[in-house]
Amino acid sequence: MSIDFHNYVLLSQALSYNTRKYRCENSLSKRTSFLNGFALLLNGSNVCTVVYPWLKEKVILIARNEKLENVDRYYFDQFFSLIRVYSSMFWNVDRTDNQNDTFDDIKDILINLVNNFNQEKIMKRLFDYLFDDAVKQLLQVTKIDDNEKQQIINSVNTNVGIYIKNKSTTEYACLMKENMTVENYISFLLARVERLIELRDIIKKSRKNPLHSDIRKLQNNALLLYESTIFKILIVKDPRVYYYIDKISAHMRALNGLLKCFEQDQARYAYIYREIKWRIINPHERCVLLNNGPTNVFRMLWSNLFPDIDPEETVNNVLAPNLNKQYDISKTLDVCVHCELLLIDYLLKNQINEIEGQLDVEIGISKMSCYLCSLYIAELNKEHKRIFCLSDSTHGKVYQKWDFIPDEQQHLKQNVERVVIEQIEKYLNDIQLDQKQSGVKHIGDSDTLDIVGEINDVDTKYVLSLMKKDQL
């Protein structure tokens, strides 16, 4: 069965049938934000990284689809060493001003380290052509006319309390702590937008070798905009702009969120992280035989559904343009176990079961799970009576390079396979009804932070320090 299953995976990817894209509401919890941020910072330019803090052993379990490179090991060693130093400093009760400077120094080194390791990804996000429209819209924000601006000022002034209630916003830092007038604050926001665009242009010109300080300043400006409620009014809640700002500030917000957790919840985080180590779970890759070959499997499915209709027209028009012929010829496919499954397998095999609060197992992930992982994790949860909370969150895509956990029980595989076949059949029925010929929906690359929303609260102190230290 498992040999043929990969034919269905190839067909699912080629047909891009619509699966439900949904988010896990739990992902808004502080702990998940913390863990997702952690995973993002360790991801670099890789496909995906997952983390799980094994509290008893004070070790962060890390899994990736692919093998770790030396550069990753070096980065992890440095990153974790700084995290240990940073969190252990909270255990010194007689902190002096000098030590506060040390906090800033370590944070400074960490930001440079994180940005260096993740630079390729940050640059990719910054100049992704899919965001060209968002950048144009952002430019429009700076051209707001005086009337419109005055209307917003009046509206904010009549109810300014609402905007400064949340300590995690840029408004709280600027209007409350810095006592800016609303008018000045809106000018401040517009200046941030202009500066962001200016820095983007500067970085674009020196794209091969951009100044780290420019990237950092751009992220700082984006972070202030992302955490501003009034900025959302200025962009008329245009999701494209907000999504872009989200993307380009994600690493900085993740690091801020992480460090803030050590400070705010010392008993829970700093205590453990002052001794934290990391451990990688080995990837699992193999080459599978495709038995019949995907096109023949497609013909079989089609003939079962519509015995009187020749499948060849659909094969040629719908399947062939999206399926690499090579798989029918070689009948082999390289697959790997996705990192969240590697991690769950490790937790199950080592009987790691540290229940915290309502949730059984929360895993930090740098992007949302794929469709097959979400189906499979739901089955694993039922089978093992666990709550691996990644199960109810997926971006809905199917990837051909996907595999079950080695030696998985047959009935679990069959349950996943059944759903996959049902989806393909549903799609074929729709084609036959001529309802979906042109309605193929491709869902974009989806990093966790895209959908998690207000994942990492901005640190008021940090916002204030940015304004004073020429960091914008």
Which residues make up the interface to Zn ion (CB under 5 A)?
A: 338, 370, 373
Instruction: Give the residue with the Cβ less far from Zn ion, 63 or 218.
Output: 63
Distances (CA, A) of 454 to 110, 116, 327: 22, 25, 43
| Minimum distance, C-beta of residue 72 to Zn ion, in the bound complex (Å) | 20
* Strand ranges of the sheet holding 277-281, from the earlier edge strand across to the other edge: 277-281, 59-64, 49-54, 364-365
Minimum distance from residue 71 beta carbon to Zn ion (Å) = 24
Q: How far is the CB of 12 from Zn ion (least distance, A)?
A: 12
Nearer to Zn ion, 200 or 367 (CB): 367
- Rounded CA separation 103/126 (Å): 29
CB of 369 to Zn ion, least distance (A): 5
Residue closer to Zn ion by CB (options 217, 338) is 338
**Shorter beta-carbon distance to Zn ion: residue 284 or 338:** 338
CB-CB contact of 364 with 37 (8 Å): yes
Using alpha carbons, select from 243, 40, 214 the residue that is nearest to residue 132.
243
Closest approach, Cβ 448 to Zn ion, in A, equals 13
Could you tell me where the beta strands, DSSP code E, fall in 109-253? none
Smallest distance from Zn ion to CB 19, Å: 12
Question: Integer distance in angstroms from the first to the last C-alpha of the chain?
Answer: 58
Which CB sits closer to Zn ion, 10 or 463? 10
Q: State which residue, 9 or 122, has the beta carbon closest to Zn ion.
A: 9
Residue 433 structure tokens: 């009804």
The DSSP secondary structure of 417-471, one letter per residue, reads HHHHHHHHHHHHHHHHTTSSTT----PPP-BHHHHH-S-SPPPHHHHHHHHHTT-
- Give the residue nearest to Zn ion (CB): 373
Q: Can you tell me the distance from the alpha carbon of 370 to that of 172, in angstroms, rounded to the nearest whole number?
A: 37
- Smallest distance from the beta carbon of 422 to Zn ion, in angstroms? 19
- Residue among 284 and 436 whose Cβ is closer to Zn ion: 284
- What is the Cα–Cα distance from 349 to 343, expressed in whole angstroms? 10
Comparison of 42 and 234: residue with beta carbon closer to Zn ion: 42
- The packing angle between helices 212-226 and 460-468, to 10°, is 130
Beta carbon nearer to Zn ion, 347 or 373: 373
Q: Report the distance separating Cα 299 and Cα 274, nearest Å.
A: 58
CB 165, min distance to Zn ion, A: 39
Long-range contacts of 411-417 (CB under 8 A, 24+ apart): 412/376, 412/379, 412/380, 412/383, 413/1, 413/2, 413/5, 414/1, 415/379, 416/372, 416/375, 416/376, 416/379, 417/1, 417/5, 417/8
Q: Report how far residue 226's alpha carbon sits from residue 458's, in angstroms, rounded to the nearest whole number.
A: 9
Nearer to Zn ion, 111 or 372 (CB): 372
Taking alpha carbons only, the member of 472, 27, 457 closest to residue 253 is: 457
Closest distance to Zn ion from the beta carbon of 32 (Å): 18
Three-class secondary structure of residue 203 per DSSP: helix
Question: Smallest distance, Å, CB 45 to Zn ion?
Answer: 18
